[in-house]
Structure 1
Amino acid sequence: MKLIEILGELGVKTTRLKKGEYQFQADQVDLEHLKSEQFAQQAASLRGSIMIVGPLLARFGQALIPQPGGDKIGRRRLDTHFVGLQKLGAEFTYEADQHFYQVIAKKLKGAYMLLDEASVTGTANILMASVRAEGITTIYNAACEPYLQQLCKMLVSMGAKIDGIGSNLLRIEGVNELTGCKHTILPDMIEVGSFIGLAAMTGSEITIPSAGVEHLGIIPEAFKRLGIQLQIQGDDIFIPAQNEYEIETFIDGSIMNISDAPWPGLTPDLLSIFLVVATQANGSVLIHQKMFESRLFFVDKLIDMGAQIILCDPHRATVIGLNKKHMLRGTTMSSPDIRAGVALLIAALSAKGKSEIFNIEQIDRGYEAIDQRLQGIGADIKRVN
C-alpha cells in the first residue's frame, strides 16, 4: 500500500477496483515531485521504492531516489542496481549529505553484464530499464525467482522481447514502446510458508487454498525435512494436525543443515520461520542464513520464551528441538523486521500464556490484516492501539 501511495503522489492514477484489484495509469507523472520533501520521507521509509528507478530512467531519462529504508537485517547494498544501469549508459551520482541517488541518461543502450549478485530487485530494475534500451541486453547471474518470472511475463504481454525467462541468463531486445496489460500476481510464497509453520507449531489442521504450488520450488520439501506432514491437493496445501514432528538427519546421521540460496534454492525470507518451527521439533538443526548478517538476531527473544538455541555467529544458529514436551512461555517482545516479526507471532500463538508484540507495523508490511485472518481460524489475538 505504501508503494501505491508513493505512485499516486507521483501522479500515477491509481484506482481500487475491488479488494485485491487495482488499475494504474501513468500518463501524468510529475517528475518535480521527486525533489519534494514529501517524496523523500515516503520513499526513504520503504525499500520497495527503489523499484521505480528503472522504469523512470527508461521512460524519462532520469530518476531520483533517497536511500530506501526497510528491514534492519544487515547491510543491503544497492550497487547491483546502479552498476547495471550504468552499463546501460546512465550517469550515476550519489549525494552523500542528502543520501540521494540519481541516474540520468539521454539514451539507454543494450549491453552485456554479469551481476555481482543475483539480486531480485536489482535484476528487476535493470530488466525494466533494458526493455526500452536500444539494442540487445544480456544479463548473466540474473535472479530467477517466480516474482522475476512473472515480471518478465507481464513485460512480454506489454510488448517487451525477453528470452531466458526462468533462468539465470536473460536476453532482452529493446523496444520503442510498451502497452498496457492485465496481470494477476502470484500468491505470496512467504505467506504460504508462514502458515505451514504456524500449523506445525500449533498442532493445527490447516488448508491453504490457491497456494500457487507449482511456483513454490523446494519450500514444501524443506518443511518435510523438519518432519512436517503436508499434502498437495491440486493447488491447495493441506497440513494435518500433528502432535509432534521429527527433524531428518543426513544419511551418515549428522545434524540437518537448512540454508538459504539463490532461487531455485531456499528463499532466505523463510529461514526465520524454519528456525522458530524447529524449536518445537524432535531433533536438532543448524540454520545457516548466508545472505544477511543481522537476520538471526531475534533469537534472544525465542530464548527468553524457553527455546534452546545456540547462536554460533551472525549467520548460524543451532536449534535443539523441545519436541513439544516443554512449551514456549509467553513474554513481551518487539518485532525487528517482517519475517522475524511473524516468526515471533507464530511462537506466541504456540506458547503457554499471554504474549505482547510491539512494533507490529513491521508485520503489517508483509501480512495484510494478519490479526483478523488468524482470528478467523481460531487464534486468540487482538490488536491494541
Structure 2
Amino acid sequence: MRKIIINGGKPLSGEVAVSGAKNSVVALIPAIILADDIVTLDGVPAISDVDSLIDIMVSMGAKVNRDGETLEIDPRGVKDVPMPYGKINSLRASYYFYGSLLGRFGQAVVGLPGGCDLGPRPIDLHLKAFEAMGASISYEGESMRLATDGEPIHGAHIYMDTVSVGATINTMIAAAKAKGRTVIENAAREPEIIDVATLLNNMGAHIRGAGTDVIVIEGVETLHGTRHQVIPDRIEAGTYIAMAAAVGQGIRVTNVLYEHLESYIAKLEEMGVRMTVEEDSIFVEAQENLKAVSVKTSPYPGFATDLQQPITPLLLTAQGRGAIVDTIYEKRVNHVPEMARMGADISVVGSQIVYNGPNQLSGAQVKATDLRAGAALVIAGLMAQGKTEITNIEFILRGYSNIIEKLTALGADIQLVEE
C-alpha cells in the first residue's frame, strides 16, 4: 500500500510550474490513432492516466517513445483489436477510443470506462451521437461493440441534450474522418475541446467553432502527422493557487493561462485573496482576513466542478459561513467527512456543502475517494498542525504530475511511502 505523509503547518514559498492538461492529454492520445504518420506531443504530464493510455496504445500496435514531457506516437501499426478491460476500466477517458477507432476502422470493441465515482456519468450522449453517424451498439460481456457493417461512419446533425465535455470531444474525434459534415449543437466550450480541435486541425482536419456552442466538422479522408503543445492544466493551476493562498508566504504559479480561470479567480478575489496576474503566471501573496463565500459550479466558463474540492480547504480558513453547490456531479462531497475528521466545521446538508470558519485543522488519517478530493486533502494536510496520512493515493497520481517533488521544492514536509 502506498500513502502520502504530510507534516503540516509549514509556510511554503517559491515557484511551482503547472504541467500539461490532464483533461486534454487523455483525449489527445486516443485521437492520434486517426493519423497516418507520427504525432509528437509536448508538455505531457507525468501522471498514471498517461501511463495507462500508453500501455493501451502499445497493446494495439502503436510505437511510442517518451522523453520527459515529450511523447512521440506512431499509430500506423494500430490494429483493430478488442481493447483490454483491465486498463480501460482504470480510467474514465477510455471512452475516447470509441471515437478514434470508429473514425479509423468503422468499428470498436472497448471495455466499459472506469474512473472516479462521482455519481451518474452515463455515456448515452456519446452513443446517441455515434448512432446518428451510422454505428450500431451491442454489449459483449464487460465490453461494448460499435460497428457500421463495413461502411465508414457519416456526418450527422447532433444536438447534445446536456452540455458534455466528453461527448463533445468524442463526437468531434469520430467526425474528423467521417463522410460529410457533422454539426454539434449545444457543444461544451471548455479549453480542452479547443486543444483537441487544434491537434486535429494541425493533422489536416476541418473543424470550426471549437470553444463555442456550435461546432462544424467537415470530414476528410486522411490525417497526417504533426507536433502539438498541450495546454497548461487549469485545474492543477487552480489547485496550486488555492494552496498558495491557504499556506503560502509568497508563491508564483507559472505556466498559467488566466483566461481559462477567470470565474475561479473572480471567486478568490471575492474572498479577498491578494494576487498579481502576470502574462503567464500568477503570484499569490501571504493572506489574512479572508471572507467566506458561496460557490456554485457550472459548465465552462463558469466555476469548474473540478475546482470545487481543491478550493474547499482555502474556504475553511475564511471568516464566516458559506455553501458549496455542485450542479455537475451530485456525489462530489466525499471529501467532506475526511475534512471533518481533521477538525473542520463542514457538513453535507441536503444537496449542498455547508462550512463555518475559520478553522484550525489537525493532522489525521484520511482517504482520497477520488482525484480532486485527494488534492483537497493534500492542501488540508499542508494546512494542518501535526501529521496527516492519506491513503488511496492512486487517485491523486492519476491527475497531478510530480506533486511530491513540486511541493517539496516549495518547502513542504511531504513524502510518498510504500508499505
Q: TM-score range by the shorter chain?
A: over 0.9
Structure-2 residue corresponding to 1:221:
266
Matched, 1:211 2:247: no
RMSD (CA atoms): 1.3
CA distance in 1, matches of 2:352, 2:53: 33
Q: Pick from 295, 303, 307: which aligns with 2:332?
A: 295
CA distance in 1, matches of 2:205, 2:286: 47
Q: TM-score, normalised by structure 2?
A: 0.85
SS across alignment from 2:291: coil
The structure in which a higher percent of residues are strand is 2
Structure-2 residue corresponding to 1:25:
74
Q: Is the 8 A contact 1:209 1:235 kept in 2?
A: yes
Where structure 1 has 5 or more consecutive residues not aligned to the other structure, the ranges are 248-255
Structure-2 residue corresponding to 1:42:
87
Structure-1 residue corresponding to 2:311:
274
CA distance in 2, matches of 1:59, 1:141: 26
C-alpha deviation, 1:29, in angstroms: 0.9
Q: Is the 8 A contact 1:276 1:347 kept in 2?
A: yes
CA distance in 1, matches of 2:248, 2:152: 58
2:63 alignment partner AA: K
Structure-1 residue corresponding to 2:185:
140
CA distance in 2, matches of 1:87, 1:230: 48
Structure-1 residue corresponding to 2:320:
283
Aligned ranges for residues 169-248 of structure 1 at < 5 Å?
169-247=214-292
Structure-1 residue corresponding to 2:381:
348
SS across alignment from 1:381: strand
CA distance in 2, matches of 1:63, 1:225: 48
Structure-2 residue corresponding to 1:381:
414
Structure-2 residue corresponding to 1:369:
402
Matched, 1:359 2:402: no
Q: TM-score, normalised by structure 1?
A: 0.92
Between the aligned residues of both structures, percent identity stands at: 34
CA distance in 2, matches of 1:291, 1:213: 23
C-alpha deviation, 1:52, in angstroms: 1.2
Q: Is the 8 A contact 1:94 1:100 kept in 2?
A: yes
CA distance in 2, matches of 1:216, 1:177: 35
CA distance in 1, matches of 2:321, 2:72: 48
C-alpha deviation, 1:334, in angstroms: 0.8
SS across alignment from 1:318: strand
Q: Is the 8 A contact 1:203 1:243 kept in 2?
A: no
SS across alignment from 1:183: strand
CA distance in 2, matches of 1:356, 1:210: 30
Q: Is the 8 A contact 1:278 1:284 kept in 2?
A: no
Aligned ranges for residues 37-76 of structure 1 at < 5 Å?
39-76=84-121
C-alpha deviation, 1:276, in angstroms: 2.1
Matched, 1:15 2:65: yes
SS across alignment from 1:237: strand
C-alpha deviation, 1:222, in angstroms: 2.1
Runs of 4+ in 1 over 3 A off after TM superposition: none
2:222 alignment partner AA: E
SS across alignment from 1:341: helix
Structure-1 residue corresponding to 2:200:
155
Q: Pick from 357, 366, 372: which aligns with 1:333?
A: 366
C-alpha deviation, 1:147, in angstroms: 0.3
Q: What is the aligned residue count? A: 366
C-alpha deviation, 1:63, in angstroms: 0.7
C-alpha deviation, 1:228, in angstroms: 1.5
Structure-1 residue corresponding to 2:354:
318
